Structure 1
Amino acid sequence: MHLFPAAVLTITLISSCAARVLNFPVNAASRSRTHFHRGQPQQRLHAPVRLRALSRQDGNRKHVRAKASTIDIELQNLNNTVYYGSINVGTPGQQLNVAFDTGSSATWIFSERCLSSPDCHMHRKYNNASSTTLKNKLVRFAFEYFTGSLSGVWVEDSISVGGLTVENQTFGLATVNDGVYENVDIDGMIGLGFLKMFGGKEPNLFDNMVGQGLLQNPVFSFYFNRKDSDDPSSRLTLGGTNPDLYTGDFTFVDLTAQNRWQFEGDWVQLNDGEVIFSKYGFQAVVESDNDMIVGPYEDVSDLNMKLGATLLSENGYLYVYEINCDSIDSLPDVEFIVDGKKLALSSKDYIVKRNGRCLSAFAGKKNSTVKRHQLWILGTPFMRGFYTQFDKGNGRIGFAKAKHLNK
């Protein structure tokens, strides 16, 4: 994502976050990001920046607000495509549903003034006139997505997540919407990426949680369940991890870019040990609001052929594959080798059911490389298999086996 300090901010967030209830598989393909494919990976972070709690002034007294250990936020599963939770915005708080996205840093919600397009009507909207703590920054924004676009103004107000209230948080207030979160009960997005908002001046919500002394550790973690199973509820844990939701030890890898949750892996193989691609290493970005696993077209095509999948659709950007639903239980695990360890993804996680069809979560994209390394985008199908820890303080990401109750 690129931010420009201009009177009108245009931000390209080509993203899956504008999630819809899919009626045709090609729409699923069109919702994955491309903006990470344009960038180049930066040097590995050897000395990560550690966030520290900031004190604030209250009259002549200086104090730091009490820090929480960890906070669990329950997330709703929308047909194994997107996961969302509730926040409260303003004073008094107005409850809204938002997606939490590690692939971007911007926070935005729909405004009560978003009345000009049909795509505004079904959403709950923030009434800025009802909040006593709102501040208008008088600068407009425009966000572009594959499924549509939205625009509005930057504002500042309090946002509460899991009982933690961030004061003076900058976010976008969308007044015009064309296709973003169409027919979905989601009213906005919380970005959990690295870049600052509002021309690079304002920290995102999670950084403010740490900076305002609300959390002890700059760490958050996701557990994503399966819609058709007896898994425990999906969770976003702020400030650390929830040991009840994973088994075994974490596999940690350092970040290889300073502006996104990107790491380097070794190769990818089937569970019979056959290396099918990326034998010379790959780069991967983890995105919590992307319902696909996107990789280089040639390798993904080869993988889907070995899985018995056939090409279903392509839209000039992504190639999407379908597989016989009766074969799911007999499919092999797909193993991502990271730091010499196997991260085995089962067919229950990488096969996604849509409208009576079974789709492979592995979608192909042409020209998917960064500095001669193959680039993968690991979305929610990957994160269903692995409890994922995002450690901002140490510049690393960790994976542990998700504790599914019904394997």
Structure 2
Amino acid sequence: MSPPPLLLLLLLLNPAGASLIRIRLRRAHTGQGTWNPLRQWGEPAVTPRLGDPPPGHKPVFVPLSNYMNVSPSSTQTPTTHTWFHRRFNSRASSSFKPNGTKFAIQYGTGHLQGVLSEDKLTLGGVPGVSVTFGEAVWESMLYTAALSDGILGLGFPILAVGGVRPPLDVLVDQGLLDKPVFSFYLNRDPEAADGGELVLGGSDPAHYIPPMTFVPVTVPAYWQIQMERVKVGTGLTLCARRCAAILDTGTSLITGPKEEIRALQKAIGGFPFLAGQYFIPCSLLPELPPVSFLLGEVWFNLTAEEYVIQISRSGVRLCMSGFQALDVPPPAGPLWILGDVFLGTYVAVFDRGDAKGGARVGLARARRSPARAPESGLAQAQSSG
């Protein structure tokens, strides 16, 4: 999958005394971009969990990147695909504790092997807590183009390797977060310096336009919900008898079953390229219909400007469809994946739930230019639940 050509980098940290701790982001263009191979839709309990701790009882903002996820270790034998990454050096850490448990992960189009280890990590400039994480000792050549060095898993515990406690659970267990809630704001304006924020512990109302619609999680592994229908303009209905959908920031595009995506692409004038991707004549953009998703009895609409990725290279303008054909086999599939093309338009709040209620996902339209708290000032947080 081909994400927009951008990389989100750390810019500024607000004082620790603020009600919300923000790590602001700037946008850096990095070329064509890379697609994310870290997709695995099979039996759960084989996805890595790497933890980064925030401060107590306060939502925390951390930088985002929508590239392939890799976590190389200095114990790797140096190869061409690790030359491009910073590697974890356990000898440089006084708090490192070896665990030694081996693990192996097979993703949709790549795989890696490694060992579990323990250390104290720092997130957002706040002193760390002890976490168990995975060091990649060997990984396939597919990761050569990856621009990130590690991942932060935010799925459910059933997906964790070797029963390792996921980072969100660790933060709640140690009283650093009141609730197992996090939210994503992805700024998809290519001209904006602000790239987006991950909020741990709640959500920031400045990021979205109320109301927020909550949809129950149907399978607490990936963030899976039920989608009632998909409409393309007024002439085509997909997912006519309801279907499963997953909200996933690690997937750049919106994916769906091949036959349904083919019908969608035909309706918007897309022509096939590679790996289930489609291009659209840029001249068609003003005429393209909206694509709408019915979730929780509310329609979430995407305009052509929101679901078409426009790429300019050496004076040439290309328009890539934000929809990709992908057949996810049973038992996990068939399903749709609502990736960054959708989550750039709608802020998502991921709520693991508690004794009073089950897991759910909240969705609200993202603000184009969200309000900012003053440099030294306080901001209000909204914790769902």
Task: Give the TM-score normalised by the residue count of structure 2.
Answer: 0.76
1:35 pairs with 35, 41, 47, which one?
41
CA RMSD of the aligned region, Å?
3.0
Range 236-245 or range 173-182, more displaced: 173-182
Alpha carbons 1:150, 1:180 under 8 Å: kept = no
Contact 1:223 1:236 in 2 (8 A): yes
Q: How many residues end up aligned between the 2 structures?
A: 326
**Mapping for residues 217-236 of structure 1, pairs under 5 Å:** 217-226=179-188, 228-230=190-192, 232-236=194-198
Given residue 309 of structure 2, which amino acid in structure 1 is its aligned partner?
V
Structure 1 residues 284-293 or 362-371, which shifts more?
Answer: 362-371
Percent of aligned pairs with the same residue?
29
AA of the residue aligned to 1:31: P
CA distance in 2, matches of 1:32, 1:297: 20
Is residue 290–residue 302 contact of structure 2 (8 Å, CA) maintained in 1?
yes
Are the aligned partners of 1:232 and 1:404 in contact in 2 as well (CA < 8 Å)?
Answer: no
Q: How does 1:5-44 map to 2 (within 5 A)?
A: 28=35, 31=37, 33-36=39-42
How much has 1:70 moved relative to structure 2?
A: 1.4
User: What is the distance in 2 between the residues matched to 1:297 and 1:359?
Assistant: 17
Deviation at 1:207, TM superposition (A): 1.1
**8 Å contact from structure 1 (residues 220, 240) kept in 2:** yes
Query: Which residue does 1:243 correspond to in 2?
Result: 205
How does 1:306-317 map onto structure 2 within 5 Å?
Answer: 306-314=267-275
Could you tell me whether the CA contact under 8 Å between 1:283 and 1:376 is conserved in 2? yes
Q: Secondary structure at the match of 1:268?
A: strand
TM-score (norm 1): 0.72
1:370 Cα deviation after fit = 6.0
Name the residue aligned to 1:375. 335
Structure 1's 370 and 404: CA in aligned 2 closer, same or farther, altered over 3 A? farther
Deviations 1:27-62 (A, max 9, x none): 84x8373415x68xxxxxxxxxxxxxxxxxxxxxxx
Contact 2:38 2:107 in 1 (8 A): no
In structure 2, stretches of 5+ residues that fail to align are: 8-29, 45-53, 371-385
Partner of 1:342: 299
1:403 aligns with 2:367: yes
Aligned amino acid, residue 384 of structure 1: G
Q: Could you say which residue in structure 1 is the equivalent of 2:244? A: 283
Residue in structure 2 matched with residue 297 of structure 1 by the alignment: 258
Deviation at 1:126, TM superposition (A): 1.4
Which residues in structure 2 correspond to 1:211-222 (within 5 Å)?
A: 211-222=173-184
| 2:288 paired with 1:325 | no
3-state SS of 1:193 partner = coil
Letter in 2 for 1:133: S
Taking the aligned partners of 2:172 and 2:126, their CA distance within structure 1 comes to: 11
Give CA deviations for 1:108-134 in whole Å, capped at 9, x if unaligned: 732122243111111111110011111
CA distance in 2, matches of 1:66, 1:236: 14
Question: CA offset at residue 329 of structure 1?
Answer: 3.6
Cα deviation code 1:317-362 (max 9, x no counterpart):
xx22111123224322210011211111222232224565322121
Query: 1:66: how far off?
Result: 7.4
* CA separation of 1:176 and 1:22: change in aligned 2, threshold 3 A: farther
1:155 has 2:155 as partner:
no
> Which residue of structure 2 lines up, in the alignment, with residue 364 of structure 1?
325
Secondary structure of 2:144 counterpart? coil
Read off the aligned partner of 1:386 and give its amino acid letter: Y
Three-state SS of the structure 1 residue aligned to 2:122 is strand
Q: 1:281 to 1:231 in 2, by over 3 A?
A: farther
